[in-house]
Amino acid sequence: MSDISRVTVLGAGVLGGQIAWHSAFKGKTVVVYDVAADAIARAQTTHRTYAGIYLAEVGASEVDIAATWTRLSYSTDLAEAVADVDLVIEAVPEVPGIKTSVYKELADLLPAHTLIATNSSTFLPRDFAAATGRPEKFCALHFANMIWAMNLAEVMAHPGTARDTLSEITEFAIEIGMVPIPVRKENNGYVINAWVVPLLNAAQTLVTNGIALPEDIDRTFMVNGARFGPMGMFDIIGMKTVYDVLAYWGAKSGDAQMGANAAFIKERFLDRGKLGLATGSGYYTYPDPRHQRADFLAIPDVTAVPDLVDQIVPS
């Protein structure tokens, strides 16, 4: 067993909220911290939704859910949130400046023994190690969205991470029901996002450039038995996170198409408050998204041919 019993999650967004709820469900005492009170309120609402999901899909009992609530608390006061904690998991927006600022503020507040893990989906732990003030106690621990079903946790070190830190973090991942994925070298995108981000960017390019409709892109992916396609992934991951990743890496690499894809997401989704699954609207509408209906992959009736041809004929 690890020595990690008290956990603070920094960032009450989509994945931060999931990490917090799941860790509490698995027996950890968890504080959810966010600088914004409205983010905390949204997380509490979302946690009530997760309670239903865990009852329906995870095999939880009402007793389990009640116990989970007793282990969860919420705070907008950083010093209070980390005053007596064994592990801090950083899940703030995927923007380097925001992460660095949080680490610098955190550095003087933590107990000496506390470990820190970043849930960054694309950045390297070495990018933030110095800012933590305790680089030997810092590494990456990246979770997948829908944590209760996609139970993977990628563990990645930077050159100064202590072996004991990696042991504790990996033990913690196992204790909360994750399959640890060792990342053997620092790599932007880790393992999952090293292939997911190019996939999502390629899919978004097809939409941005008017080549295919979102539902048809997902059909080409799901016909092989996948539970959802790239456009469904956008909604699950969250439009804000995908936008942050595409905007940052598009600018950094000089990739004009990636930048155009980020702009498309901002204009069509973020500016309209459509953040994906979290708000009930993204590429699909929830709780009954089109791609989960029984007829989504059905062979159409021949009467659909005129409409299909209309889409093929150059405009």
- Whether 82 has a pLDDT exceeding 70, the answer reads yes
pLDDT computed for residue 315 by the predictor: 67
Residue whose C-alpha is closest to residue 152's, from 120, 172, 181 = 181
* Banded model confidence at residue 278, pLDDT cuts 50, 70, 90: confident
Is 58 within 8 Å of 85 (Cβ atoms)?
no
pLDDT digits (tens, 9 = 90+) for 211-243: 999 999 999 999 999 999 999 999 999 999 999
CA distance 52 to 178: 21
Please give the DSSP secondary-structure letter assigned to residue 289: -
Whole-model pTM: value is: 0.83
User: From its phi and psi, is residue 156 left (phi > 0), alpha (psi between -120 and 50) or beta?
Assistant: beta
Q: Which domains does the chain have, with CATH numbers?
A: 6-182 (3.40.50.720), 192-300 (1.10.1040.10)
